[in-house]
Structure 1
Amino acid sequence: MVNFNGTIISPKELQISHENRAFKYGDGVFETIKVENNRVIFFEDHYFRLMASMRMLRMKIPMEFTLEFLQDEILKTVKENITQNTSSRVKLTVFRKDGGLYTPKTNEIDYLIDVKPISLEEKDSYTIDLYKDFYNYSGLLSTVKTTNRMVNTLASIFAKENDFDNCILLNERKGVVEVTNGNIFIVKGNTIKTPALTEGCIKGVIRKKIIEIVTKHPDFTIEETTISPFEIQKADEVFITNAIVGITSVTNYRKKTFDNSIAQKLKNSLKVTSLTMS
């Protein structure tokens, strides 16, 4: 079952018009949210990122789009799909209403919530490499999770074809941006680095949480900065963050093998944070 504008319907009942702007122009934004045991994890962060994205894209935010309203709509949809207290992947997509060419007929929106159970496999190895066919251009618009994810899609296909678990996306200056499905961090000594938002990376919710955790940690420093691909080979650890898995340790990049001890410590801290804030 899916939730379309507050109404629970079966996917077969969902009527998406040929004028749908998310389909025709990528004129939409989305949030991928984890729900665990009827708790919407870090929803306040997701909510404020969504509101900021909608404002940036000149979408009209409905009066009823409060944090409490959307949280209730998410939990209502989860209840219709998940019968046991398990983890769920929720995708909340907001798109401008039908009509218009590049110039829309209206800035009013529709929204869709769909739910899938999460089945996460713990892997002994996790290999990444660079994707260099196309670039993620730096700039503020790239930090928004729009429904146009073509570079991520092509990089994911490239990874599958070459037996990688993930690929690193680069910007037009050949700087590291992110991976296909999350933000990237590298560890060298006591310094943890992640690409700055000006590099074009998504303003990730878990990225934000890790930065907050490391900022308060007495043993480590955090840098939001420009990262060269060469720095990855020199790193002690590399890890990936997103809202569903939290932290994934990278074990291999080309001929380099990485440790994961700091990522494990951060994973424990993140778990504590999620329990206290959700």
Structure 2
Amino acid sequence: MINYNGTIQPTDNKQLTFNNRGFKYGDALFETIRVIDGKVIFGEEHYLRLMASMRIMRMEIPMEYTLEFFESEILRLVNATGMKGKPVKVRFNVFRNDGGLYTPVNNDVTFYIQATPLKNAFYIITDDVYGVDIFKDFYQAPGLLSSLKTTNKALQIIGGVYAKENDLQNCLVLNTNKSVIEALNGNLFLVKGTTIKTPPIADGCLNGIVRKQVLKLLQKLEGYTVEEVSISPFELQKADELFITNSVIGIQPIKKYRKKEFTTTFAKGLIGKLNAVARLG
């Protein structure tokens, strides 16, 4: 089942045409959201990011697109699929309506929502192998457009293929200034002694929801310095820990980068705090 513009219907109903602008031009945005026990986790933050992104993309925001509408449409689908009370991953998609070439006929939009089950209600950290390397074939341009969660993910797709071919679990992305900005599927944090770094949004990384939550948690830790600064590839092997954040996994420690192996103590100490914020926020 999907929620297509407010109508719950089977997934085999072919509502998307060959003229869909998300398909043809990547003229679409999406949010990936956790729903736990009937609660949209970080719902307001996801909603505000989506609305801000729609404005940047010059999409017309319908009057009914309120926070209450956003959350209620998500929960309507979750309930209709029989997953009420269970952990669910939701993808909320917004695309500009059909028409035009690069320049659209108008800026009206349609949304559809998908829901799939999750294994765990809480964010967890496993001891599974998690190795990464830098993806150097293509670079992300720094700037506001790179911070949006659009359906234009060519770099991430090719990077994912590269990771699979090289038996890696993920790759780290560089911007055109050759700074490390993020992983293929999330934001990056680096821990060295009592200093914690994460790339600034201006470097071209995604304006991540969990990134923002983790930064708030880190600011409360005594004895640590938190910096939003550019990260050189040379800093990676000198780090004590590296970890990735996103809305589905929460926190994913990197165990290995090339020949360097990392500890996971800091990340494991942080995951409980993130779970508490997610449940109470």
With structure 1 as the length reference, what TM-score do the two structures score?
0.97
The answer (yes or no) to whether the contact 2:132–2:169 under 8 Å persists in 1 is yes
Greater Cα shift, 200-209 or 210-219: 210-219
1:110-125 equivalence runs, <5 A: 110-119=110-119, 122-125=126-129
The alpha-carbon deviation at position 67 of structure 1 amounts to 0.3
Identity among equivalent positions (%) equals 48
Letter in 1 for 2:44: E
In structure 2, the gaps of 5 or more residues are: none
The aligned length equals: 277
1:15-30 equivalence runs, <5 A: 15-30=15-30
- Where 1:209 maps in the other structure, the secondary structure is helix
The alpha-carbon deviation at position 84 of structure 1 amounts to 5.7
The answer to whether the aligner puts 1:202 opposite 2:180 as a matched pair is: no
- Where 1:133 maps in the other structure, the secondary structure is strand
Greater Cα shift, 212-221 or 191-200: 212-221
The alpha-carbon deviation at position 43 of structure 1 amounts to 0.6
Q: 2:139 maps to which residue?
A: 135
Q: 1:46 maps to which residue?
A: 46
- Where 1:13 maps in the other structure, the secondary structure is coil
Q: 2:177 maps to which residue?
A: 173
Equivalent of 1:228, from 201, 215, 232? Answer: 232
Greater Cα shift, 84-93 or 39-48: 84-93
Deviations, residues 100-125 of structure 1 (Å, cap 9, x unaligned): 01110110100010011123693422
In structure 1, the gaps of 5 or more residues are: none
1:57-76 equivalence runs, <5 A: 57-76=57-76
The answer to whether the aligner puts 1:257 opposite 2:241 as a matched pair is: no
Q: For residues 124 and 149 of structure 1, what CA distance do their matches in structure 2 show?
A: 26
Letter in 1 for 2:145: L
Q: For residues 25 and 244 of structure 1, what CA distance do their matches in structure 2 show?
A: 26
The alpha-carbon deviation at position 129 of structure 1 amounts to 0.6
With structure 2 as the length reference, what TM-score do the two structures score?
0.96
The alpha-carbon deviation at position 85 of structure 1 amounts to 2.9
Q: For residues 83 and 38 of structure 2, what CA distance do their matches in structure 1 show?
A: 11
Q: For residues 87 and 182 of structure 1, what CA distance do their matches in structure 2 show?
A: 20
The answer (yes or no) to whether the contact 1:89–1:118 under 8 Å persists in 2 is yes
Q: For residues 127 and 84 of structure 2, what CA distance do their matches in structure 1 show?
A: 25
The answer (yes or no) to whether the contact 1:82–1:117 under 8 Å persists in 2 is no
Letter in 2 for 1:161: E
The answer to whether the aligner puts 1:187 opposite 2:191 as a matched pair is: yes
The answer (yes or no) to whether the contact 2:78–2:84 under 8 Å persists in 1 is no
Q: 2:8 maps to which residue?
A: 8
Q: 1:97 maps to which residue?
A: 97
Letter in 2 for 1:93: N
Letter in 1 for 2:85: N
Deviations, residues 152-171 of structure 1 (Å, cap 9, x unaligned): 11101111111100000111
Q: For residues 180 and 229 of structure 2, what CA distance do their matches in structure 1 show?
A: 10
